[in-house]
Amino acid sequence: MTQYVSNPVDKDGLVAWSDEENAIWHDLVERQLKLVQSRACKEYLRGLELLNLPQDRVPQLLDINQILMRETGWQVVPVPALISFDRFFELLANKCFPVATFLRTREEFDYLQEPDFFHEIFGHCAMLTNPEFAHFTHVYGQLGYAASPQRRSYLARLYWFSVEFGLVKENDQLKIYGGGILSSPGETLYALDSPQALRAQFDIARVLRTPYRIDIMQPIYFILDEIAQLYQLSQLDLISHIDQATELGLFPPLFAAKEANHVE
């Protein structure tokens, strides 16, 4: 369930963003740009440069699509605030990235569970200008669209620990490529700096068996040797790896049950 409703898109593909939404976008981008310049991977920063996102107003999907189509053949597609797994995988399988056309409120400026326009555009679209990342996401969508619900739950963990919360080595330093981190000021700092967080080499068998929660700082992050490793992953028989992970079962979670974390 979500309190948010996507803004309508008119016949020309434009959204009539309000002055307040433009102001929220400006403040979100201004704050996050200061953090990602030294912490994001070079592929993400190059993508941001290509997108040339405006800071004084919310960008239009048409402008983003011109860049994505030129670089990797992808498009962003407006969707309601929440969509089904079927629709999500179908879109990715067709090189379309779903973007909900709403922005968080001031009350949820620092964090919200729903993926809003800032998360999708600022967090993810820069990486979609990278051919290897884009290819991995395309293959992922094709696999997910054809997969059973049980296999999709394992695919969700792969997406979570790569596209959303992935780290990568760059000149002996850790950098961020996951959009879930790069759209969150707190997690952009936490993922690289926190002594509490675990950071492990990306291993497909371990990733598929690692539980996660969406409403906490991640207890563990997985590190690629380079972004090209995503393309290599897309060439594996991922369904076979999922079936092996299913037989072995999940690892114990690295976090408390949600109920135990509730504070009055």
Hey, where are the domains in the chain? 19-257
Is a pLDDT exceeding 80 seen at residue 1?
no
Rounded to an integer, what distance in angstroms lies between the CA atom of residue 63 and that of residue 52? 10
Q: SS3 helix, strand, coil % of the chain, rounded to 5?
A: 50, 10, 40
- Average pLDDT of the residues in 131-149: 98
Q: What is the CA radius of gyration of the chain?
A: 18
Average pLDDT over residues 108-120: 92
List the beta bridge partners of residue 136: none
CATH topology of domain 19-257: Phenylalanine Hydroxylase (1.10.800)
Catalytic residues: 119, 124, 164, 183
Q: Which tokens sit at 3?
A: 């309190």
* Residues near 131 by beta carbon (within 8 Å), at least 6 away in sequence: 71, 72
**H/E element, 107:** none
Query: Could you tell me which residues come within 8 angstroms of residue 139 by beta carbon, excluding any fewer than 6 positions away?
Result: 234
pLDDT higher than threshold 60 for residue 264: no
Residue 146 has pLDDT above 90, yes or no: yes
CA 142 to chain centre: 17
Kindly tell me if the per-residue pLDDT of 202 is higher than 90. yes
The residue behind tokens 């968080």 is 104
Whole-structure pTM value? 0.95
Q: What does the alpha-carbon distance between residue 179 and residue 188 come to, in Å, rounded to a whole number?
A: 10
